[in-house]
Amino acid sequence: MTDNQTNPESFKWVGKRVKRIDGPEKVTGELKYMTDYHFDNMVWGKVLQSEYPHAKINHIDTEEAKKLPGVICVLTHKDIPGFNGFGIVVPDQPVLCSKVVRCTGDAVALVAAETLEIAEQALSLIKVDYEPLEVVADAELAMTPSAPRLHPDGNIHSQVIIKNGDTEKAFQEADIIVENTFYSPRQMHAFIETEGGWGVMDEEGFITIRCPGQYAYRDRMQIARSLAYNPERIRVISSPIGGAFGGKDEITVQIYLALLAMHTNGRPVKIHYSREESVIAGIKRHPFKVQMKTAAKSDGTLLANEVRAVGDTGAYASLGGAVIALAIEHSCGPYKIPNVDLEGFCVYTNNGIAGAFRGFGVNQVCMGIETHMDMIAEKLGVDPIELRKKNVYHQGEVSSVGHVVKSSVGTFKTLETAENCDLWRNREKYKTEVSEPWKKRGVSLATSFHGIGMGIGLPDYGAASIELLQDGKFLVGVGCEEIGGGNSTVYAQVAAEILNCDISNIHVVQGDTSRTLDGGTVTASRSTYTGGRAVATAAPNMVKLLTQTAAEMLNLPASKVTINTNYISAEGKKLTYQSIYQYLFDNRKTTRVEGHFYLPKEKEGIEGSGGAPHHLYGYLTHVVMVEVDTLTGETDVLRVVSIPDAGKVMNPQGLEGQTEGGAVMGIGYTLFEDILIEDGYHKTRNFTDYIIPTIRETPLIETFPVEEAEATGPFGAKGIGEVVMIPIIAAIMSAIHDATGARIYHLPATPERVFNALKSLKNKKTQSAR
Amino acid sequence: MKTIQLTVNGVQCSITCPPAKTLLDVLREDLGLTASKECCGKGECGSCSVLINNEAACSCLVLAGQAEGQDIITCEGVGLTPNLDVIQESFVEEGATQCGYCTPGIIVSAKAFLNGINHIPTTDEIKTALGGNLCRCTGYTKIIKAVQSAAAKNNSKKETITG
CATH class, domain A34-133+195-272, is: alpha beta
Ordered DSSP codes for A505-529 = GEEEEESBTTTS-----S-TT-III
Separation CA A193–CA A14 (nearest Å): 31
- Report the pLDDT value the prediction gives residue A6, as an integer from 0 to 100: 57
pLDDT, tens digit (0-9, with 9 covering 90-100), for A152-161:
999 999 999 9
- Report the pLDDT value the prediction gives residue A4, as an integer from 0 to 100: 44
pLDDT, tens digit (0-9, with 9 covering 90-100), for B3-39:
999 999 999 999 999 988 999 999 999 999 999 999 9
pLDDT, tens digit (0-9, with 9 covering 90-100), for A298-320:
999 999 999 999 999 999 999 99
pLDDT, tens digit (0-9, with 9 covering 90-100), for B46-63:
999 999 999 999 999 999
* d(CA A661, nearest CA chain B) in Å: 4
Query: What's the whole-number mean pLDDT along residues A640-654?
Result: 96
CB-CB under 8 Å, A28 with B81 = yes
pTM greater than the 0.95 cutoff: yes
Of B47, B130, B132, Cβ closest to residue A192: B47
- Report the pLDDT value the prediction gives residue A509, as an integer from 0 to 100: 98
Measured between beta carbons, the chain A residues lying within 8 angstroms of B88 are 24, 27-28
Q: Which residues is A593 bridged to in the sheet? A: A466
Is the peptide bond between A53 and the residue preceding it cis, with omega within 30 degrees of 0?
no
Separation CA A199–CA A494 (nearest Å): 34
Secondary structure class of A79 (helix, strand, coil): helix
Its CATH architecture, for the domain A288-455+605-769, is 2-Layer Sandwich (3.30)
Q: Which range is least confidently modeled, A69-78, A304-313, A451-460, B75-84?
A: A451-460
Q: Which residues is A759 bridged to in the sheet? A: none
Q: Please name the residues between 12 and 31 in chain B that touch chain A, using a CB distance below 8 Å.
A: 28-29
Specify whether the CB–CB gap between B145 and B96 falls below 8 A: yes
Q: Count other C-beta atoms under 10 Å from residue A673's C-beta.
A: 23
CB-CB under 8 Å, A688 with B44 = yes
**Do A3-31+461-598 and A288-455+605-769 fold alike per CATH?**
yes
Separation CA B2–CA B131 (nearest Å): 35
Q: At what angle do helices B86-94 and B103-115 cross, to 10 degrees?
A: 130
Separation CA A727–CA A604 (nearest Å): 28
**Helices in A392-486 by DSSP H: which ranges?**
411-420, 422-425, 427-432
Separation CA A76–CA A67 (nearest Å): 16
CA-atom Rg of chain A in angstroms: 27
Q: B140 CB near a chain A CB, below 8 Å?
A: yes
Specify whether the CB–CB gap between A652 and A642 falls below 8 A: no
The length of chain A is 770
Specify whether the CB–CB gap between A41 and A268 falls below 8 A: yes
pLDDT, tens digit (0-9, with 9 covering 90-100), for A321-372:
999 999 999 999 999 999 999 999 999 999 999 999 999 999 999 999 999 9
Q: Please name the residues between 89 and 118 in chain B that touch chain A, using a CB distance below 8 Å.
A: 91-95, 97-104, 107
Of A192, A688, A701, Cβ closest to residue B101: A192
Q: Are strands A506-510 and B71-73 parallel, antiparallel or unpaired?
A: unpaired
On the question of pLDDT at A400 being above 50, the answer is yes
Of A191, A275, A657, Cβ closest to residue B138: A657
On the question of pLDDT at A231 being above 80, the answer is yes
- Report the pLDDT value the prediction gives residue B163, as an integer from 0 to 100: 54
Q: A666 CB near a chain B CB, below 8 Å?
A: no
Query: What's the whole-number mean pLDDT along residues A80-91?
Result: 97
Q: Which residues is B5 bridged to in the sheet? A: B14
Separation CA A503–CA A11 (nearest Å): 13
Measured between beta carbons, the chain A residues lying within 8 angstroms of B91 are 23, 27
CB-CB under 8 Å, A662 with B88 = no
Q: Are strands B2-8 and B71-73 parallel, antiparallel or unpaired?
A: parallel
Helix then strand count (H, E) for chain B reads 6, 5
CB-CB under 8 Å, B34 with A36 = yes
Dihedral angle of Cα A111, A114, A119, A122, to the nearest 10 degrees: -80
Measured between beta carbons, the chain A residues lying within 8 angstroms of B99 are 191-193, 240-244, 483-484
Sign of the Cα torsion A648, A649, A650, A655 reads positive
Q: Which residues is B50 bridged to in the sheet? A: B57
Q: DSSP label at A530? A: I
pLDDT, tens digit (0-9, with 9 covering 90-100), for A677-735:
999 999 999 999 999 999 999 999 999 999 989 999 999 999 999 999 999 999 999 99
CB-CB under 8 Å, A29 with B75 = yes
Query: What's the whole-number mean pLDDT along residues A654-681?
Result: 98
Q: B154 CB near a chain A CB, below 8 Å?
A: no
CB-CB under 8 Å, A36 with B28 = yes
- Report the pLDDT value the prediction gives residue A1, as an integer from 0 to 100: 41
Q: A483 CB near a chain B CB, below 8 Å?
A: yes
Specify whether the CB–CB gap between A353 and A313 falls below 8 A: yes
Q: B2 CB near a chain A CB, below 8 Å?
A: no
Secondary structure class of B117 (helix, strand, coil): coil
- Report the pLDDT value the prediction gives residue A545, as an integer from 0 to 100: 98
* d(CA B163, nearest CA chain A) in Å: 31
Domain boundaries, chain A: 3-31+461-598, 34-133+195-272, 288-455+605-769
Alpha-carbon distances, residue A539 vs A188, A451, A545, A546 (angstroms): 39, 27, 10, 11
Secondary structure class of A448 (helix, strand, coil): strand
CATH class, domain A3-31+461-598, is: alpha beta
Alpha-carbon distances, residue A28 vs B36, B77, B92 (angstroms): 10, 9, 10
On the question of pLDDT at A31 being above 90, the answer is yes
CB-CB under 8 Å, A192 with B102 = yes
- Report the pLDDT value the prediction gives residue A2, as an integer from 0 to 100: 44
Helix then strand count (H, E) for chain A reads 21, 28
Domains of chain B: 2-78 (3.10.20.30), 86-162 (1.10.150.120)
Element (H, E) at A597: strand A592-598
Residues 6+ apart with CB under 8 A from A742: A736, A754, A757, A758, A760, A761
- Report the pLDDT value the prediction gives residue A459, as an integer from 0 to 100: 85
Query: Terminal CA-to-CA distance of chain B, rounded, Å?
Result: 54
- Report the pLDDT value the prediction gives residue B98, as an integer from 0 to 100: 98
